[in-house]
Structures are given as C-alpha cells and as structure tokens.
C-alpha cells in the first residue's frame, strides 16, 4: 500500500464531501418552512424575526448562502446550531465518541459471536449444534434490525429486566469523566463498576446492531471453513495427530479468513449507519440521536454538520476497509 | 400456474398479502371502534383474555384509551399504500435507469453507476431523515424515502442483467435486422427481465413495510393516522405498564416481511425452470 495511493484516495474524498454538502444544503432549502419562525416566541415582532434571520445569514439568496457556508467550512467553522445555540462542530464532536463506542462494541460483539458460531458449527459438524446455528442465522437475517431492537426491548427489559433500555449512563455519574469516551476512559482508569454500567446500557443497542452482522459472519466463515476442511493439508495435519481444535483454529481458520474479511467490510459500514436509528430507539446520546433532534427542529446548521461528519466517517471507513483488504490479501498489493 | 399453487411459500405469501389487502379495504367495517377515539375511562386496558380485560376491547387499549385492535386494523392502510406506491415507484425508477445504463453504456452508465454507488455508500436512514427534515412529515415523505432507499437495488440488478442479455443472439439479431432501440428495450429486453423484477418487487414490498414502520415510529409519517410504527412508538413510552401493546404491531410487521419474502421466493421457484428441477 503506497502512500501515493492513500493520498489519492483521500483527495478523492474531497469531491464526495462537496457533493454531500451541496445535496444536503440544497435539499434543506428548496422547501418552504422557516426555521426562524419555529424558534421565536409568539410575541416576537417582524423586526425581531428579520434581525434573527440576518444573524443566521438566512436573508441572503441560496447560492450566496452556500458560498458563505463553504467559505466558513473550509476554515473549520460549521456554523451555530439554531436550536441549541452552540457551535455545531463542538456539539457534534462532543457526541461522536458515544456513537463510536457503540459501533465499536457492536462490531466486537458481532465478530466474537460470529466467529464462535462458525467455529462451533464446523467443529460439531452434522450435530444439532450445526442445525441450531443455521436456524439462528436465518432468523437473524430475516428480521430487520428495527424489529430486533423492539424484540430485545420486550425480552430483556420488560419480561426479563436485565438491561436498561435507554440512555448511556446515569447522568449523576457522567460528570466524573474527563473525556467523552466514557467506556474507554473507565477501562483505562480501572473503574470497572462504571464500565459495567456503561456496558449494561450498551448491551441491547449493540446487540440489535450486531445481530445481522453476526449472521453474515457466521454464514460466510462457516462455508469457507468447510471448504478448507476437505483440503489435503488438513488431512496431513490429522495424520500428524493434531487435535481437532488445533486443526480448526491453527490450520483451517487462517486460510478461511479472506472471504469473511472482504464480505464483512461492507457490513461494518451498514452497522455504523444503523447506529442512527438504534440510538433513537434506545435514547442513546450519540450523533444519530442528535440528528433526529436537529431534523425535528429544522436546525439547518446542525443537520448539515452531522451529515458531513457522517459522510466523512464513511469515507474514512471505506478507505480503512480497502487498506485492510490489501493487508490480508497479498494479491491486491499493487 | 399449477406449480405456483403447489408451492407452500407462494401460498403463504399470497395469503398474507391478500389478508392485508382485505383488512385495509374493509378497515372501517372491520374495526370495532374509531381508531382515534379517546376514552379516559378505558385507559390501558389489557387484552380481553387477560385479567381485567374488557370484552369490547379485544386487544386492549393504549394510554389514551384508544382501541388497539382498531388502530392495528386502520394501520394496514398506510402500510399498504406505502408498500404499493413505494415498491412500484422504486421499481419503475430502478428498472428504467438500470435498463438505460446497461443498454447504452458509455457516460450514461458511468453516471448511473456512480450515483448508485454514492447512494449505497450512504446509510439509508440518514437520507430519509434529511429528506423528512426538508419535506416535513407526511405519507409523501415516507413514500419518497422508500423510493430513495430502494431504487438502487433494482437498478444494480437490472443493469447487470441487461449487460448479459444485450450480448445474446436474440438481441444482436434484432439489431441486425434494424429493429429500433426502443423496440429492443421494451419488446426484447423487458419481457426477459420481468420474472426478476417481480421477485425484487416482492422483497421491496417487505422492505417498504419496515421503512413505513420506522418512519412513523420516528414521527415522520402523517400524525393524524393510526400506523403500526406510531403504535410501537406510543407503546415504547408506556412499555412498563402494558408490554403487550408493542407486540401486536411487531408481530404484524414480522409476519408481513416474512410473507412478502416468501412470496418472492415462491414466485421465483415456481417460474424459474432451473430451480424447478
């Protein structure tokens, strides 16, 4: 992977981001509906409204607004949120760690469970365990994540109250953190009680996000493991007298990994996109939830800020995934 | 046709779809109560068979005393509307663009394919939310978001299929004898694409139902309607008092999704000569 390639990919991200900025900006402004009218109290005079409109730059023509917006963007100024009256970039960056932690826990969960299921169903091939794993997979894939989230709420919060169904942490304890990466911070500092509370809040949203990915990983990895298991070198390992477990994990797994990694890369992106809805369902304070608030208040600068940050996140994820392909597949290193 | 009637998947799917159409068509006659009528005396009644249930409210009531069964029955209407309009329009847009891109190639293909890539690399919900913020809540917003999320799936598959069909003998010979392009597109290619498009439509209808539920759950659908998503959203807020209220719409949506997927699968199995053997 040459630095030149990386640089080219990063440069290609600029027109994409520009495209997203244009689409979102235009989409939000072609329709009637006045964000200022929503924020002023009933007794505001027309002069007050005009003054506010001017202060947010909404009195200028749409192309002019866009030029000003771009000019500010390049200087790192994302504007001021209309509903929250704070700097957009600060708001978004303050919420981003919560979303990243959720995505990270969900990805870890799906990789661990997916691998375990695939390995178990290969190890106990032809037994009830294999058919059980297959059944779990088909069910997990057939039901969309929105409904999984609801079913999880019903099962683990109401009928069997094991986990909380909303929030990230008790607000009283949230002041104890120096950064916004609560989970990482509590683990680093060794505050395992706090970490357990955070993980408890994360359990259901992360599981709702992870279920489809668990099924995909388990299915793909299982089929490539079973292809590998009939190869000659596996037979040789058996003749050498290695244990089944060792053959599976040390001989078969490394050679079966490639299709799983290529296929799940795309699903990582779906998962991160899925956080938007899951955050709303579980009232989890990440940027997805913030986007809903912004959308219902028609808070234009905040919507633009969150979508741009999301777009950037996806571009970076795409690049990272391409890099990882090249790392695991020597044939792709050009 | 006989193969269809012997296919259990198709039968299950067709039954689910017909049931939905029937209930939606006769909703005002089937529903025992007005879905919007509130009654402070009958708040949060459990279903009829549970302790304390009222026989006239079969599935119980919500916090405003509205009859859940009537709300579920009336909820089939927006679901059916979004399902049909959303799936048809995304099919139309995707098939037309996919056929043009695959048949003509060149810059048109590049443009369409790049647009599809951009759409697919962006999380669908994000798109729907921005759209809803721009258009305001309503059934139209819901249908358009179904189309924005769904057209790429038709487009990609149809384009690939047209690319393969284009080189086949019946198309090249039609070209040689001077058949016009539009005639080739609509009389030679389209009939060959139809079985595929029908299967895709079945899958898309299932997805449309879910998108409708999600959008109305968030509150981006028309607020004056009883929708399955809004029942879930209401029930989410009083889940600790009445957990059962949430199960009806969830079960209904799951049955619809499984049924519509089975319908598409069954249609393919019964119409595809390769799969029949």
pLDDT value at B100 more than 90:
yes
> Taking CA atoms, what residue in B is nearest to A303?
B130
Higher pLDDT, A131 or A174: A131
Q: Which residues of A touch B130 (CB under 8 A)?
A: 24, 27-28, 295, 303, 307
Chain A: give the shortest CA distance to residue B124, in Å. Answer: 8
pLDDT at A40: 66
User: What are the extents of the domains in chain A?
Assistant: 96-287
Higher pLDDT, A35 or A198: A198
**Alpha carbons B201 and B42: distance in angstroms, whole number:** 42
CB pairs under 8 A between A and B: 95
* Contact check, Cβ <8 Å, A33/B132: no
**Three-state secondary structure of A201-221:** HHHHHHHHHHHHHHHHHHHHH
Chain B: give the shortest CA distance to residue A222, in Å. Answer: 24
pTM equals: 0.85
* Contact check, Cβ <8 Å, B257/A273: no
User: Which tens digits make up the pLDDT trace of A25-57?
Assistant: 887 777 666 666 666 666 777 787 787 777 777
Taking residues A101-116, report their average pLDDT.
93
Residue with tokens 């009083």: B238
Q: What domains are defined for chain B?
A: 2-20+68-276 (1.10.3720.10)
- Indicate the range of A144-148, A297-301, B97-101 predicted with least confidence: A297-301
Taking residues A125-135, report their average pLDDT.
87
Q: Which residues contact A24 (CB under 8 A, 6 or more apart)?
A: A303, A304, A307, A308, B130
pLDDT value at A170 more than 80:
no
Taking residues A283-293, report their average pLDDT.
89
User: Which tens digits make up the pLDDT trace of B240-254?
Assistant: 888 888 899 999 999
Could you tell me which CATH number the domain at A96-287 has?
Answer: 1.10.3720.10
Q: What angle do CA B232, B237, B240 make, to 5 degrees?
A: 105
Taking residues A179-186, report their average pLDDT.
83
Q: Which residues of A touch B207 (CB under 8 A)?
A: 144
Residue with tokens 């005396």: B41
Highest mean pLDDT among A15-29, A253-267, B130-144: B130-144
Element (H, E) at B14: helix B8-25
Residue with tokens 């990272």: A320
The rounded percent of chain A whose pLDDT value lies above 70 is 94
Best residue of B9, B132, B133, B250 to probe chain A, by most A CBs closer than 10 Å? B133
pLDDT at A167: 81
* Contact check, Cβ <8 Å, B125/A151: no
**Alpha carbons B258 and B262: distance in angstroms, whole number:** 6
User: Which tens digits make up the pLDDT trace of B196-220?
Assistant: 888 889 889 988 999 999 999 988 8
pLDDT value at A151 more than 70:
yes
* Contact check, Cβ <8 Å, B133/A298: yes
Chain B: give the shortest CA distance to residue A224, in Å. Answer: 24
pLDDT value at A107 more than 60:
yes
Best residue of A146, A166, A274, A288 to probe chain B, by most B CBs closer than 10 Å? A146
DSSP secondary structure of B168-199: SHHHHHHHHTT--HHHIIIIIIHHHHHHHHHH
DSSP secondary structure of B82-118: HHHHHHHHHHHHHHHHHHHHHHH-HHHHHHHHHHHHH
Chain A: give the shortest CA distance to residue B123, in Å. Answer: 5
Q: What angle do CA A257, A260, A265 make, to 5 degrees?
A: 125
């Amino acid at each position: 992977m040459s630095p030149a390639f990386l640089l080219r990919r990063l440069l290609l991200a600029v027109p994409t981001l520009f495209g997203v900025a244009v689409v979102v900006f235009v989409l939000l402004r072609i329709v009637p509906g006045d964000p200022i009218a929503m924020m002023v109290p009933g007794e505001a005079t027309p002069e007050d409204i005009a003054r506010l409109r001017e202060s947010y730059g909404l009195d200028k023509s749409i192309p002019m607004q866009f030029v000003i917006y771009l000019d500010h963007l390049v200087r790192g100024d994302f504007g001021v949120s209309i509903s929250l009256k704070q700097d957009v970039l600060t708001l978004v960056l303050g919420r981003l760690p919560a979303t990243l932690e959720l995505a990270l826990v969900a990805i870890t969960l799906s990789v661990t469970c997916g691998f375990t299921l695939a390995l178990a169903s290969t190890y106990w091939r032809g037994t009830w365990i294999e058919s059980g794993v297959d059944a779990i997979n088909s069910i997990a894939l057939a039901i969309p994540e929105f409904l999984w989230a609801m079913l999880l709420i019903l099962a683990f919060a109401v009928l069997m109250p094991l986990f909380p169904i909303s929030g990230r942490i008790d607000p009283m304890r949230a002041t104890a953190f120096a950064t916004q990466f609560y989970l990482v911070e509590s683990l680093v500092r060794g505050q395992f009680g706090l970490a357990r509370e955070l993980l408890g809040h994360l359990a259901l949203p992360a599981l709702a996000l992870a279920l489809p990915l668990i099924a995909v990983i388990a299915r793909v990895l299982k089929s490539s493991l079973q292809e590998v298991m009939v190869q000659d070198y596996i037979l040789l390992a058996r003749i050498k007298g290695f244990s089944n477990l060792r053959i599976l994990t040390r001989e078969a797994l490394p050679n079966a990994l490639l299709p799983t990694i290529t296929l799940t890369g795309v699903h990582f992106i779906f998962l991160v996109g899925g956080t938007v809805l899951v955050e709303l369902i579980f009232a989890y304070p990440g940027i997805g939830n913030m986007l809903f608030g912004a959308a219902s208040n028609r808070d234009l600068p905040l919507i633009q800020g969150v979508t741009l940050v999301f777009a950037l996140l996806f571009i970076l994820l795409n690049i990272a995934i391409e890099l990882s392909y090249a790392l695991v597949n020597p044939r792709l290193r050009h | 046709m006989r193969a269809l009637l012997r296919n259990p998947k198709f039968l299950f799917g067709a039954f689910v779809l017909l049931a939905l159409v029937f209930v939606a068509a006769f909703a005002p006659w089937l529903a025992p109560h007005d879905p919007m009528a509130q009654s402070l005396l009958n708040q949060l009644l459990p279903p009829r068979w549970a302790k304390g249930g009222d026989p006239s409210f079969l599935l119980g009531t919500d916090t405003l005393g509205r009859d859940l069964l009537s709300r579920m029955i009336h909820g089939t209407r927006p679901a059916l509307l979004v399902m049909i309009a959303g799936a048809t329009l995304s099919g139309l847009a995707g098939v037309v663009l996919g056929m043009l891109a695959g048949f003509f190639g060149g810059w048109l293909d590049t443009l369409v394919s790049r647009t599809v890539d951009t759409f697919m690399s962006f999380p669908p919900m994000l798109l729907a939310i921005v759209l809803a913020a721009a258009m305001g809540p309503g059934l139209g917003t819901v249908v358009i978001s179904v189309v924005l999320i769904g057209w790429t799936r038709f487009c990609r598959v149809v384009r690939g299929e047209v690319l393969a069909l284009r080189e086949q003998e019946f198309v090249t010979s039609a070209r040689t004898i001077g058949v016009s392009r539009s005639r080739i597109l609509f009389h030679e290619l389209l009939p060959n694409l139809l079985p595929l498009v029908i299967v895709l439509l079945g899958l898309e209808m299932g997805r449309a139902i879910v998108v409708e539920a999600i959008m109305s759950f968030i509150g981006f659908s028309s607020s004056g309607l009883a929708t399955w998503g809004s029942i879930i959203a209401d029930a989410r807020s009083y889940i600790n008092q009445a957990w059962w209220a949430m199960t009806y719409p969830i079960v209904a949506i799951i049955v619809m999704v499984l049924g519509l997927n089975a319908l598409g699968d069954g249609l393919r199995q019964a119409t595809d000569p390769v799969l029949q053997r």
